Amino acid sequence: MSAPLRSPRVAIIGAGMSGLCMAITLRRAGITDITIYEKAESVGGTWRDNTYPGLSCDVPSRFYQFTFAPKPDWSHLFSPGAEIREYFTQLAADFGLDECIRFGTEVTHAEFADGRWRLRTSRGDTQDVDFLISATGILHHPRYPAIEGLDDFAGAVFHSARWDHQVELAGKRVAVIGTGSTGAQIVCGLADTVGNLKLFQRTAQWILPLPNPAYTRLTKTLHRIVPGLDQLAYRGYRSAIEWFAQALVKPGRRRRLISAICRANLRTVRDPTLRQALTPDYQPMCKRIVISSRFYRAVQHRNVELVTERIDRVVPGGIVTTDGTLHEVDVIALATGFDAHAFLRPMTLVGENGRTLDEAWRDGPRAHLTVALPGFPNFFMLMGPHSPVGNYSLTAISETQANHALDWIQRWRRAEFDTVAPTQAATDSFNAEMRAAMPDTVWTTGCTSWYLGQDGNPELWPWTPDRHRARLSRLDPAGYDLRTHSTTSAPAGQSYPSPTDSLRHVRRQHH
C-alpha cells in the first residue's frame, strides 16, 4: 500500500488574477491548507485597482480566461475592465476561496528557517508554511512623474490606477499625461464626454487597429451549449497570439507584416501635421503595442488636442510646456505607467543563510525559469522576472507557472524531498541563455519602455510563450537542489543532482 500523501501548508501573497489561479490549482489537486494574504479588501489585483474610463483588456477575452473556468458570455472580443474584475470575483466565490483569503493583511516579512517559511503580517501575527508563493503582480506600483509643481495644482490630479470617480468630468478641461495603452484608452473613453481633452505625448506610440466587436446573443448561447467550442476558441486565439509573438522575438516576415499594418493605420490620420506628430521614431512593437481601432479617431475628435511640447511644470491653473504656453485645465490624469520591476516590494524576503532578496537581486531581478530563486527553497513566483508578458495573456502564463509550482508540491506530498530550490549554476546558465537570445527581440531595437530593467535590458522571456509552457510543463530535477531532512537518499528511480550537497545540508541541520 502506498504511503498517504503529506498535506502541505501553503501561503499565497496576493489575491489578484495569479494568486487566485494558484489557489484554485492547488484546490483542484486536493490541497486545502491554503492562506491567501491580500492587503486590499477585495480580490482582482490590477482589475480592482484600475477603473478608469475606457478600460479594457488588450488580450481577447476568450484567451484571457482560465482553461478551468470558461465564461461563455463575454460581452466583447476585448472585454471591459469591470467585466474582467467581475469574472475574478465570481471565480473566488465559485471556488470557495473567500474563506481562505485574509483581506486587509499585508505580508511584511518572510524568512526561511528550519525548512519552513515564517511569515509576519501587517497585523503583527505570524504563520509557518511549507511553501510560499508570491503572486504580487507586475503592474502594481503606480509611477508618479517627477513634474515640478504637480502638488500645487488647484484642480484634481490622480493616477490612472487610482481614478477618482468623485470628480465630475462632463464638460471639464482634462489633461491626460502619457500615451501608453492606458492613455490611449482614456482618450477613447473620455473624448465624447469632457469639455476638452489635452493629451500630453512624450513619445508617440504604434497602434495596431484590431476591432472590438460585441458578441451576439447567438454566439454566447453557442459557447454555453456546444461542448468544446470554448476550448477551440481558446486554442485559436492562443495560436494567433503566438504567431504574433514570433514577430516579437525574431526579425523577419511577420515583424514586417505587423509593421506594415501599423504604418497603414497611421496613414488614416488625415492632417499631415498631426500624423507627423503621431509618428514614432522606433520600430513597431519595441514598446508594448497599443491595440485600438478607435484611438486615431478619438485623437482627431474636435474636443481633443495632442500636445507634443515637453511639460515644463505644473502651476495651480494648469500645465506649462517648455515653449511657455499655459494649458489651462481642471483635471490632470496621470497615465504614466507603473514600476514594473518592484517585484514583491516592499516586503522583505530572507532566504537561506540570512540572504535577503535585495542582496540576491543587487544586479536586478533574476530567477530560474521565471519562477524560482536559488537560496530561496520552497518558494515560487507567479509573474516573476522574465515572464513572457509582452502582448500575451497573463492568465495563460499564470496557469503555466501555477501548474509548475503544483508539480513540485505534488512531489513534496509524495515525500520525494523536503525542500527544493534551483541551483545558482542552473540559474546563471538560464540567464546567460536568455541574454544571448535577447538581441533578436524587437524590445532591443532602440526605445525605452517598462519592459526594460535598470541595466537597459528587457526583463522579458526572449522566446515564444509556447516555449515557456513547454519548458515549465516538464520538471527537470537537474539544476535543482532537492533536500530531505530525514534521509539523504532519493526515492527509487529518482536521480538527484547533488547528493553530496544534500548530505552536507542534512548534516548541517543535525548539528
Q: Which residues bind ligand NA7 (CB under 6 A)?
A: 58, 139, 145, 147, 160, 177-183, 200, 202-203, 288, 311, 335-337, 448, 450
Distance CA 409, CA 12 (A): 13
CB of 178 to ligand NA7, least distance (A): 3
Task: Answer left, alpha or beta for residue 14, where phi above 0 means left and psi between -120 and 50 means alpha.
Answer: left
User: Of 132 and 442, which CB lies nearer to ligand NA7 in the complex structure?
Assistant: 442
Give 295 or 480: the residue with its C-beta nearer to ligand NA7: 295
| Nearest to ligand NA7 of 183, 377 (CB atom) | 183
Widest pairwise Cα distance in the chain: 82
Alpha-carbon distances, residue 472 vs 232, 397, 408 (angstroms): 23, 10, 11
Helix, coil or strand: residue 325: coil
Give the nearer residue to ligand NA7 in terms of CB position, either 43 or 55. 55
Least separation in angstroms between CB 308 and ligand NA7 = 11
Minimum CB separation of residue 49 from ligand NA7 in Å reads 11
**Contact of 22 with 16, CB cutoff 8 Å:** no
- Rounded distance between C-alpha atoms, residue 262 and residue 280, angstroms: 11
* CB nearer ligand NA7, residue 182 or residue 464: 182
- Our CB check for ligand NA7 shows the closer of 123 and 313 to be 313
Nearer to ligand NA7, 291 or 369 (CB): 291
CB of 337 to ligand NA7, least distance (A): 3
Using alpha carbons, select from 388, 371, 385, 403 the residue that is nearest to residue 479.
371
Taking the complex as a whole, the smallest distance from the CB of residue 382 to ligand NA7 amounts, in Å, to 16
Phi, psi dihedrals of residue 238, rounded to the nearest 5°: -60, -45
Min dist. Cβ of residue 240 to ligand NA7 (A): 18
C-alpha cell of residue 168: 465630475
Least distance (Å) from ligand NA7 to the CB of residue 466?
Answer: 20
All 3 cell numbers of residue 362?
543587487
62: amino acid identity, one letter: R
Q: Supply 384's cell numbers.
A: 516573476
Residues in contact with 93: Cβ distance below 8 Å, sequence separation at least 6, in sequence order = none
Contacts of 130 (CB under 8 A, 6+ apart): 8, 9, 10, 116, 117, 378, 412
Q: Is the dihedral of CA 45, 51, 56, 58 positive or negative?
A: negative
The vertex-58 CA angle with 57 and 62, nearest 5°, equals 75
Residue listed under C-alpha cell 537597459: 456
Using the minimum distance from each CB to ligand NA7, give the nearer residue, 35 or 441.
Answer: 441
Using only C-alpha atoms, the chain has a radius of gyration, in whole angstroms, of 24
Rank residues 72 and 178 by Cβ distance to ligand NA7 and give the closer one: 178
Name the grid cell of 465: 510563450
Which is nearer to ligand NA7, 121 or 179 (by Cβ)? 179
Angle at 16 between CA 83 and CA 349, to 5 degrees: 165
Q: How far is the CB of 390 from ligand NA7 (least distance, A)?
A: 9
Q: How far is CA 65 from CA 387, 393, 466, in A?
A: 18, 9, 17
Q: Which residue in 146, 145, 120, 149 sits closest to 132, CA to CA?
A: 120
Residue 181 vs 398, nearer CB to ligand NA7: 181
Q: Which residues contact 234 (CB under 8 A, 6 or more apart)?
A: 62, 63, 65, 67, 70
Min dist. Cβ of residue 268 to ligand NA7 (A): 21
Taking the CB of residue 503, how many other CB atoms lie within 10 A of it? 13
> Which residue has the CB atom at the shortest distance from ligand NA7?
180
CB of 332 vs ligand NA7, minimal distance in Å:
11
CB of 138 to ligand NA7, least distance (A): 9
Q: Which is nearer to ligand NA7, 233 or 452 (CB)?
A: 452
**Minimum gap (Å) between residue 177 Cβ and ligand NA7:** 5
**Residues 114, 115, 121: CA angle, nearest 5 degrees:** 80
Q: Contact, 173 vs 329, CB < 8 A?
A: yes
